[in-house]
Structure 1
């Protein structure tokens, strides 16, 4: 575990980053890291603008987790905005990058669109799931919203596995879909743990 002020980076994240950097022969790693940093910066700035305080950032090989001060909690609407701010920054950067001429601009736009859209999926361990959970809590209660998000995560994981089977049946093996399915299910087993708390 690497610690610097309020930031912790797990050994798994460092190892994964090193492997991806080593295997990257197209220069996508640095563009992807820039998109991820912009995503987390979007969350951070939204939390500050809404009156919250970030007490720590933990980066692991499966994502980032911001810990908020309990002394300055965000209200219901602030939690929804804070959860959606990261993906919205990525989508905005994607549209801005489309204006840049050259292959790098288009590539950066695609990375941002993919990161923003993926994080908007309604699974509890993603920003879209957290925002949906905050929206459903007044209607279903905290436990009901959590159960609903778990069912959605299972359905998304099953859909990804079905897509893997269809692609394999057509003669195209895709390892990304089952890895994403496993990641969603892992996040599902973690229960209420969320990146924005």
Structure 2
């Protein structure tokens, strides 16, 4: 469900709920750090898209981050891989720059960038890792094989992560602060199984 839709920008209800949940659990200061890391990530995607000659027709923001829809025709597999991996690369480079420049005083922003980089490389669509898997298999064996691989690997990974988080919640005494992640992962797994990656409109 898109609770904010202004044509070129769509923000899902799940994003607003996750943001509110995060603030309640961690405070506004840490949210600002995470949003800065997310902005760095999306800037990497944007600059790579522009370098490849693609325009942006729409930005969709959900619990899994932002998805930029391109204008001006499809990119080649090679160029699309570059644009997809540019986001995690931007986070990694930013983290390395802060380590070199500031050391321990930048530890929280460094951690936020590294976590965001690692999270986005999970082989789950619409994350960058899931899209990378789909593109690589499609390039090697065709679009049908790429879709099949992304659905199978993404669905199984999402289910495994959801189970792991539930176990972690149990071990931590029933803490519910990771519950939104479980709901999002289960929705993603169900979407891949039924062939609809926007199953819950997260």
Instruction: Please give the TM-score of this superposition, normalised by the length of structure 2.
Output: 0.78
What is the aligned residue count? 192
CA contact (8 A) 1:9 1:58 kept: yes
- Structure 2 match to 1:184: 185
1:98 is aligned to: 99
**Structure 2 gap segments, 5+ residues each:** none
Q: Alpha-carbon deviation of 1:113?
A: 0.3
Structure 1: give runs of 5+ residues left out of the alignment. Answer: none
Instruction: Measure the CA separation in 2 of the matches of 1:58 and 1:166.
Output: 31
CA RMSD of aligned residues (A): 3.0
CA–CA separation in structure 2 for the residues paired with 1:141 and 1:79: 15
Describe the superposition over 1:150-187 as per-residue Cα deviations: whole angstroms up to 9, x where unpaired.
22123323432453466578x43575777545433423
- Correspondence for 2:60: 58
Q: 1:19 to 1:130 in 2, by over 3 A?
A: same
Deviation at 1:102, TM superposition (A): 6.3
* Offset, 1:32: 0.2
Q: Deviations over 1:58-81 (max 9, x none)?
A: 223442121111x33311111111
Report the Cα distance in structure 2 between the residues aligned to 1:66 and 1:186, rounded to whole angstroms: 21
Task: Select between 171-180 and 21-30 the one with higher mean Cα deviation.
Answer: 171-180
Instruction: After TM superposition, list the pairs within 5 Å mapping 1:1-197 onto structure 2.
Output: 1-2=3-4, 6-25=8-27, 27-69=29-71, 71-101=72-102, 104-164=105-165, 167=168, 171-173=171-173, 179-180=180-181, 182-188=183-189, 189=191, 191=195
| TM-score normalised by structure 1 residue count | 0.80
Supply the distance in 2 between the matched residues of 1:184 and 1:52 (Cα, whole angstroms). 30
Q: Is the 8 A contact 1:125 1:184 kept in 2?
A: no
